[in-house]
């Protein structure tokens, strides 16, 4: 190498680090997770459906995207404070798992995009203008059990437990809170559907986990034949307690989410929870790539699964009809 070439190579080697140091650092987007529930372990977070959905879309949690999680830990009065904290951190998107955290986020910011999962009545809550065109900074994946879903759940309960008369409904709402603080009555299709199949239904509302012992005592005193829950955060967090209770007192148990069946419940019929959460990651992906939440239509589940726990059926003495087993999407032995 001649002297001129040598000097040129030396100049380039000195200049290269200066250019690299002078470049603006690549901004890693941050997603705030406002979760109405209990904290998860790092291993659970890594395997979560939301993280899986992001990985499928090309994001690497902890590397190309940061997930900043905050949890209510069963204390919904903390949600407003936690939402405000995420706003102060200036996250790029806020993801919420139910109506209460979504409402808290919507009250905390009208500019940071919000993606929800599991909000059955987003229009009545005042979170969006319509499913087709949300019109605001909020969009996501709804989780609404319509009349046809409730009818199928009642039908399966009658088929699998034909002697059932009294059904204790865990949780459930008869009104929703608007983002402006007003309460709005909502239609409840379960009464009509259950009456159609000859059930007497009584609702046992759940405000906090401290209510669980009195609720279980009330169900026992009422002499219920079965327990039923769609599955909101309040009942989901205590699914093992409800499944154990039903098993101990040999009650049929019907749910809207298969996680209850994994916990020991008898059967469930509803959308695949993990799949819909995974699919909600697409909203985060689109927003981070420039889409406006105001123009991203809210999606609703279109596929539903019947899951039956045969171990529980045998323990409470219920012979599951063969036709129902053929119909099931998943059977737990």
Where in the chain are the domains? 30-143+273-295, 147-270+304-332
Q: Which of 71, 74, 73 is nearest to 95 (CA)?
A: 71
Q: How many Cα atoms occupy the beta-carbon half-sphere of 91 within 13 Å?
A: 27
CA distance 271 to 196: 23
pTM: 0.82
**Tens of pLDDT along 97-112?**
988 899 999 999 999 9
Residues 6+ apart with CB under 8 A from 129: 123, 135, 136
Q: Which of 128, 94, 127, 100 is nearest to 112 (CA)?
A: 94
Q: Are 103 and 127 in contact (CB under 8 A)?
A: yes
What is the pLDDT, as a whole number, of residue 56?
97
Cβ neighbour number for residue 250 with a 10 Å cutoff: 11
CA distance 65 to 198: 52
* Placement of tokens 């009584």 in the chain: 202
Helix (H) or strand (E) holding 32: strand 30-35
Of 14 and 196, the one with more pLDDT: 196
CA distance 134 to 146: 20
* CATH architecture of structural domain 30-143+273-295: 3-Layer(aba) Sandwich (3.40)
Query: Token pair of 162, please?
Result: 């034909």
Q: Are 105 and 34 in contact (CB under 8 A)?
A: yes
Assess whether pLDDT exceeds 80 at residue 49. yes
**30-143+273-295 and 147-270+304-332 agree in CATH topology:** yes
Of 196 and 91, the one with more pLDDT: 91
CA distance 286 to 289: 5
Assess whether pLDDT exceeds 90 at residue 235. no
Cβ neighbour number for residue 41 with a 10 Å cutoff: 8
- What is the CATH class of 147-270+304-332? alpha beta
């Amino acid at each position: 190498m001649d002297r001129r070439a040598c000097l040129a190579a030396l100049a380039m080697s000195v200049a290269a680090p200066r250019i690299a140091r002078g470049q603006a650092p690549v901004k890693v987007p941050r997603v705030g997770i406002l979760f109405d529930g209990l904290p998860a372990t790092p291993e659970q977070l890594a395997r979560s459906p939301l993280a899986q959905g992001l990985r499928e879309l090309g994001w690497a949690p902890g590397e190309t995207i940061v997930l900043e999680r905050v949890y209510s830990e069963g204390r919904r009065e903390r949600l407003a404070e936690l939402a405000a904290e995420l706003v102060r951190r200036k996250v790029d998107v806020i993801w919420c798992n139910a109506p209460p955290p979504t409402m808290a986020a919507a009250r905390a910011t009208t500019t940071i995009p919000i993606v929800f999962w599991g909000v059955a009545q987003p229009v009545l809550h005042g979170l969006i203008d319509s499913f087709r065109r949300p019109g605001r900074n909020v969009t996501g994946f709804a989780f609404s059990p319509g009349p046809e879903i409730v009818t199928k759940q009642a039908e399966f309960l009658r088929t699998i437990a034909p002697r059932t008369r009294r059904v204790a409904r865990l949780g459930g709402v008869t009104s929703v809170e608007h983002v402006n603080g007003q309460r709005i009555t909502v239609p409840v299709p379960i009464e009509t559907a259950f009456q159609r199949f000859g059930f007497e239904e009584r609702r046992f509302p759940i405000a906090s986990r401290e209510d669980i012992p009195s609720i279980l005592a009330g169900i026992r005193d009422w002499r219920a034949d079965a327990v039923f829950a769609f599955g909101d955060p309040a009942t989901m967090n205590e699914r093992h307690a409800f499944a154990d209770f039903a098993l101990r007192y040999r009650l049929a148990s019907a749910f809207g989410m298969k996680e209850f069946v994994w916990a020991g419940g008898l059967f469930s019929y509803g959308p695949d929870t993990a799949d819909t959460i995974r699919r909600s990651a697409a909203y985060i992906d689109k927003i981070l790539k420039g889409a406006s939440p105001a123009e991203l239509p809210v999606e609703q589940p279109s596929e539903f699964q019947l899951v039956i726990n045969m171990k529980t059926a045998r323990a409470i003495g219920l012979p599951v009809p063969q036709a129902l087993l053929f119909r099931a999407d998943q059977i737990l032995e």
